[in-house]
């Protein structure tokens, strides 16, 4: 299948944003399309499916809709009571094999790779940028690594995931593709007073 054109292709320009700083307060970067699969289960057997995931993939399903569990290159988000996102940067053989064992009675599997634009926001001012539109406490005690939240920024539904990082604070923001350009324009405006830098897509 042909790669989808980035929703930001016409407006994405790498380089400095806003005020000049020796070190950017925040860096912004579009992430390439990820392997993103949604599994929607049924009440009568969802717990059994979770047990199979743990046994076959070696990763437990989160018990809440806040925590991300990760093993090797695969992460699981519980985005609803019986709805999971499987996310990896590459096509996961283990995940493909597991999904191949599922039948209609087990749940509905949907590939949603190109339905989201993923933006990485990193740096000492990353929290400040997001909190210009996100009414959630992003400080370490309230929003530690491996936690995510589904909310709204600039009237746009988003999923914000805090990644593990030994140095700068790092967030990935999942934005519906149809709103990606509007969100990007808001993000650039929010970063300008803090000294931002747009990085090449990689």
CA-nearest of 123, 118, 117 to 17 is 123
Torsions phi, psi for 136 (to 5 deg): -135, 140
Q: Which letter does DSSP use for residue 96 in this model?
A: H
Going from the N-terminus, what domains does the chain have, and what CATH number goes with each?
Answer: 15-33+115-198 (3.30.1360.120), 35-113 (3.30.70.1520)
Q: What is the pLDDT of residue 1?
A: 47
CA-nearest of 143, 136, 145, 139 to 124 is 139
Chain centroid to CA 39: how far? 16
**What would you report as the CA-atom Rg of the chain, rounded to the nearest whole angstrom?**
18
The helix or strand, by DSSP H or E, that contains position 78, with its residue range, turns out to be strand 74-80
Q: What is the pLDDT of residue 2?
A: 52
Whole-angstrom distance, CA of residue 78 vs CA of residue 161: 12
Residue 14, CB half-sphere, CA atoms under 13 Å: how many?
A: 6
pLDDT tens over the chain, length 202 residues: 456 789 999 999 999 999 988 899 999 999 987 799 999 999 999 999 999 999 999 999 999 999 999 998 899 999 999 999 999 987 788 899 999 999 999 999 999 999 999 999 999 999 999 999 999 999 999 999 999 999 999 999 999 999 999 988 999 999 999 999 999 999 999 999 999 999 999 7
pTM metric for this prediction: 0.94
Task: Give the length of the chain.
Answer: 202
| Strands laid side by side in the 148-153 sheet | 15-17, 196-198, 26-31, 116-122, 170-176, 156-162, 148-153
| Cβ–Cβ < 8 Å for 74, 92 | yes
């Amino acid at each position: 299948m042909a790669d989808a054109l980035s929703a930001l292709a016409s407006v994405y320009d790498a380089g400095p944003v806003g005020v000049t700083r020796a070190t950017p307060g925040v860096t912004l970067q579009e992430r390439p399309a990820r392997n993103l699969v949604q599994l929607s289960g049924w009440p009568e057997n969802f717990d059994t499916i979770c047990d199979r995931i743990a046994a076959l993939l070696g990763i437990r399903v989160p018990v809440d809709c806040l925590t991300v569990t990760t093993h090797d290159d695969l992460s699981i988000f519980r985005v609803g009571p019986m709805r999971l996102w499987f996310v990896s940067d590459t096509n996961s053989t283990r995940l493909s094999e597991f999904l191949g064992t599922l039948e209609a009675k087990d749940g509905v599997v949907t590939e949603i790779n190109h339905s989201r634009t993923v933006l990485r926001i990193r740096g000492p001012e990353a929290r400040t940028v997001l909190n210009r539109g996100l009414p959630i406490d992003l400080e370490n005690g309230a929003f530690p690594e491996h936690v995510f939240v589904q909310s709204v920024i600039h009237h746009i539904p988003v999923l914000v995931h805090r990644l593990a990082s030994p140095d700068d604070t790092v967030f990935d923001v999942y934005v519906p593709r149809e709103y990606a350009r509007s969100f990007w324009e808001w993000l650039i405006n929010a970063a300008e007073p803090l000294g931002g830098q747009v990085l090449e897509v990689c």
